[in-house]
Amino acid sequence: MSEVCLIVSGDPKLRRLLCLMAEQCGFEASEAAGADQAQRCIEKHRPAVVVFGEGQNEVDTMEAFGRLPSPGSIMRPKTIFIGASAAKAREWGADIGLDPSIPVDFDSFSRHLKSLQAR
């Protein structure tokens, strides 16, 4: 059974793209469109990694990130935050925060996922 990577984004196209990339990296991808759905998916699937992709609904994406267990908690999954709020997410404990001005391609996404698996 492969590890689960949850993709959280209000932007359906971005969410689907990130799911496909996670699957190509060997993860079982699950997706959530907002904070409530993300919380249910985290409780159900206990993902190894949660990727937050800011898109159309930035407030809900940050709300979902803010609902994670505290940094250092054994219940907190590894996190990647992609979007305009990446710096704020890093302050809140994101493992990796990626600025949206730098396009995320498969190679860089794969490297980031693999670096989290190695931790």
pLDDT by residue, tens only, the chain of 119 residues: 689 999 999 889 989 999 999 999 999 999 999 899 999 999 999 999 999 988 765 667 888 888 888 888 888 899 999 888 888 889 989 999 987 777 778 888 888 888 887 77
> How much is the pTM?
0.88
- Considering the segment(s) 4-118 as one domain, its CATH architecture is 3-Layer(aba) Sandwich (3.40)
How far, rounded to the nearest angstrom, does the alpha carbon of residue 114 sit from its chain's CA centroid?
Answer: 14
Structure tokens at 14: 């971005």
* Domain coordinates in residue numbering, the chain: 4-118
Closest CA to 35 of 13, 77, 66, 74: 66
Whether the Cβ atoms of residue 73 and residue 28 lie closer than 8 Å to each other: no
Gap between the terminal Cα atoms of the chain: 19
Q: Which of 42, 45, 33, 36 lies closest to 9, judged by CA?
A: 33
